[in-house]
Structure 1
Amino acid sequence: MDAVVVRRSVEADWERSRAIRLRALRDAPLAFASTYEREIAFLPEQWKARIGDSAQFLAGNADGEVIGTATGFTDPGEPGTVNLVAMFVVAEARRCGVGEQLVEAVVAQARADGASRVRLHVVETNDGAARLYARCGFVRTGVTEPLPHQPSLLEHEMVLALR
């Protein structure tokens, strides 16, 4: 794969952010706690607010096409914990290091912000993502919870300690 550039989103990226998120929800509906039907209705202000309220990263290819995304946000109920969410890489760019670069960007931002750990949830049927997170140093905690829109599937909590 050609050079990939991972950068933090800014408000002006809201349309790109929306496009990759909606693609993720369409392409992998059981990998996320939300749904395409819910988020297609979001207004531009909601997409802009998401960028402003988090550390969202976009991965772009040499042509400037967005091929991946990942977001980190501080858990309001657990100071020191950053949640890694909305991780997605388009199928044609998988197994090329894009996912690792996106995880690394979220983790680096969490460290810079003084977080003590990064936490994520991965659906039990998403073996590829679970392997990616394990390669990046995340370990399962044993905590599970049902996927909100498909409660028959479990999400496994994984954590990376930063200190």
Structure 2
Amino acid sequence: MGMLSVRPFEVGDWALYRAVRLAALADAPDAFGSTLEREQAFTEERWRERLAGRDQFLAEDSGQACGLIGIVPTGPRTADLVSMWVAPAARGRGAADLLVGEALRAADAGGIACVELWVTQGNDRAERLYARHGFHRTGRVQPVREGESRLEFAMKRRAATDGSKATTQLPH
């Protein structure tokens, strides 16, 4: 076991971002609204645009990529948490908590008051992860992809309204 860390992706990291994102889609095809085939066809320009339009973070285990997460602005003071994934070899070691925590710190620093996300029904581990970070179900449900029967549900987290930062409970 190595040392886990999280850092932001830079636009110049597009090839690494592409590799990690494609690994995520290959490993967990049912967890994402997109598909491996769709994103394999993206051009370098498209990957760079993605990194330029969001705060995207990379988890590393002793310098080796092992996860990612992103915050995409959706409106004034609102954003979606997207693309959460941790490689199988790094699961259960805190990488997911590090990624979510870093993404939420970036959202708070950017003045984001409300962060939403979607979780595939039956992904109890992900739901527990997000609940540890202050997310709760909203009651909204939709298909994971148009025309499919698999469903996902929305979760939301609001930043503290008294000017303090929302807190995150990490496991010990």
- Given candidates 137, 140, 144, the residue that maps to 1:143 is 140
Distance 1:123 1:6 in 2: 24
Equivalent residues of 2:121, 2:153 under 8 A apart: yes
Question: Residue type of the partner of 1:65?
Answer: Q
Gaps of 5+ in 2: 161-172
For the residue of structure 2 that corresponds to 1:159, the secondary structure is strand
Of all paired residues, the percent bearing the same amino acid is: 42
Equivalent pair of 2:55/2:106 in contact (CA under 8 Å): yes
CA distance in 1 between counterparts of 2:147 and 2:61 reads 33
TM-score normalised to the size of structure 2? Answer: 0.89
Indicate yes or no: 2:121 matched with 1:124. Answer: yes
Following the alignment from structure 2 to structure 1, what is the Cα–Cα distance between the partners of residues 124 and 40?
27
Q: Distance between the aligned counterparts of 1:43 and 1:92, measured in 2?
A: 29
| Whole-Å separation in 2 of the counterparts to 1:37 and 1:148 | 14
Report what 1:152 is aligned to. Answer: 149
Distance 1:149 1:7 in 2: 33
Long gaps (5+) in structure 1: none
- In the TM superposition, 1:3-152 aligns within 5 A as 3-62=3-62, 64-75=63-74, 78-148=75-145, 151-152=148-149
Q: Is the 8 A contact 2:61 2:90 kept in 1?
A: no
Q: Normalising by the residue count of structure 1, what TM-score does the alignment of the two structures yield?
A: 0.94
Superposition RMSD on alpha carbons, in Å?
A: 1.1
The answer on whether the counterparts of 1:80 and 1:117 sit within 8 Å (CA) in structure 2 is yes
Q: Secondary structure at the match of 2:151?
A: strand
SS at match of 2:143: strand
